[in-house]
Chain A
Amino acid sequence: MANGKHAHVITPTRWTVFLRTFLPWQAWRFLAINLKMLGVIRRSHH
């Protein structure tokens, strides 16, 4: 299925794109993602 239009795809707002590399926000996300990963790692080791 070839798709060349992207007409039915959600795309990020400029604010969302900005936040992706905004250092204070990403520092918080760094902590949050690591905590989520540690949770999954803990559940995956029996």
Chain B
Amino acid sequence: MSRVVILGAGVAGHTAAAFARKWLDRGDTVTVVSPKDFYNWIPSNIWVGVGVMRADQVTFPLRPVYERAGIEFVHGAARAIHPEGTLDDPTPHVLVAPTGGMPDARVRVPYDFLINATGPQLRFDRTPGLGPDGNSHSVCTPDHATDAARAFAESVARMQRGEKQRFVVGVGHGTCTCEGAAFEYIVNLEFELRARGVRDRAEIVWLTNEYELGDFGMGGMQFNAGGYITPSSMFNASLFAERGIEWITRAHPVQVEPGRVHYETVDGTIGEQAFDFAMLLPPFSGVGLTALDRHGVDITDRLFQPNGFMKVDADYTAKPYDEWRASDWPHTYQSPAFPNIFAAGIAFAPPHAISRPYTSPSGAAIAPAPPRTGMPSAIIGKTVARSIVDIIQGRSGPLHTASMARMGAACVASAGANPFTGTAASMIVYPIVPDFERFPETGRDLAQTFGEIGLAGHWIKIILHHLFLHKARLRPGWSLIPE
């Protein structure tokens, strides 16, 4: 009997748990540890944040799903990994702080194989005044998105009474990732203002750490369009110009006051932008897991990078940006320190930025972090589960691989939610991490990489919402739906 423990119930962790349970014998156990007892289809939080969906339409309770599937569930946050056990008991285990329990309470969860899929810690604290407890909104969680929708509705009501409103959407720090989510939010917000007849009273500003629009933490993309290899910066600028959205690029927000965000840019410009409503995403870090050896000595630095993300089979050697290679990116997501530990999704440490990093004259890093969400997270979760199941079942051969340099991503960014007048930007990129050895011209396969705006994209987005929630609920046929 083997025990597989998965930390986290997001896209990567939930996918890994579902497939591990499907492939393993009933004598083996699969346990999910998560501080949240609900699943959240995060891409649809965008629609919650503009008030066209409720939080209960993008979430569902995990316990009934796991009970039906035969997956054990521990409601709590993992705090410490003991990969060698202790002197008294050499069984590897994780110490978990039960949700709602006493602050010092810990539950010991033993494992034979561990998948760290803890996702990000939302670091609103890195910019003073940033976040729902400060002076801006977020759509990172269903609660945040619900609060954002409430504030957005208040702004709309003010405009309906004749007032003007200024909206700022984007990032709250120079090292943020997930610019794609903020992009979706700003174009949905603009669409909803038009739909509610108040667009002419709104000023909308995109505030981003991207060096050029359309970077998305992937160094941008190039599309073959109209006989030209066209950068995604033109694609995004065109959409913003068409929608009357202004933009501020290359920015590092340094403080968010009530109604005002202060920022500096790569060239040293110090600026400020007034707002009545701001949705600014936080930077991410790892969740702060620690690791201890059998003697209780802290070995966190053997398992994790200083930013809290887990080291896996990537090449983390420090090198100038121009010397990085696609092959530096991890393949198996196995910890080099302990072969029975893997990471999946946002929890693994990327070896380097995909977008070229910049530093402002004051020393602030202005560099979009690489995205590891959605499709790649799910594929990595499934791949890691397959490798562990193969080891448990005694199959010989190498571990399964899912390098982001050999993986594409299909991203459908909603630009307005209406079945007849809505649109979405459908973007396909292959591979996610540019590989200039295989594709010298742009780093990507131009026959696959593609972008288009239209109603068809919105239909696909709606279908994906229902399809992926069906899959996550582990309803009949779930495993046939691709990640």
Q: Which chain A residues have a beta carbon within 8 Å of chain B's beta carbons?
A: 1-4, 6, 9-12, 17, 19-21, 23, 25-27, 29-30, 33-34, 36-41, 43-46
What is the distance, in angstroms, from A18's C-beta to the closest C-beta of chain B?
Answer: 11
Which of B271, B448, B455 has most A Cβ within 10 Å? Answer: B455
Judge if B479 is at the interface, Cβ distance under 8 Å: no
- A32–B241 Cα gap in the complex (Å)? 27
Judge if B402 is at the interface, Cβ distance under 8 Å: yes
The interface stretch among B113-121, B122-130, B245-253, B289-297 is B245-253
Contact, CB under 8 Å: B375 / A44: yes
Closest Cβ neighbor of B226 among chain A residues: A10
Residues of B within 8 A of A44 (CB): 375, 379, 402, 406-409, 430
Q: Number of contacting residues on B, CB 8 A?
A: 43
Q: Give a binary string over B212-254; 1 marks a CB under 8 Å from any A CB, 0 the rest.
A: 0000000000000000000000100110111000111110000
Q: List 5 A-B contacts (CB under 8 A).
A: A9-B240, A26-B456, A27-B456, A36-B448, A46-B383
| 10 A-B pairs closest in CB distance | A40-B408, A6-B241, A30-B456, A29-B456, A44-B407, A37-B410, A9-B241, A26-B455, A26-B456, A20-B454
Residues of B within 8 A of A38 (CB): 482
What is the distance, in angstroms, from B264's C-beta to the closest C-beta of chain A?
Answer: 12
Contact, CB under 8 Å: B454 / A21: yes
Contact, CB under 8 Å: B234 / A9: yes
Contact, CB under 8 Å: A20 / B453: yes
- A10–B190 Cα gap in the complex (Å)? 20
Contact, CB under 8 Å: B482 / A20: no
Docked complex: B409-465 residues within 8 A CB-CB of A: 409-410, 420-421, 423, 426, 428, 430, 448, 450, 452-457, 459-460
What is the distance, in angstroms, from B383's C-beta to the closest C-beta of chain A?
Answer: 8
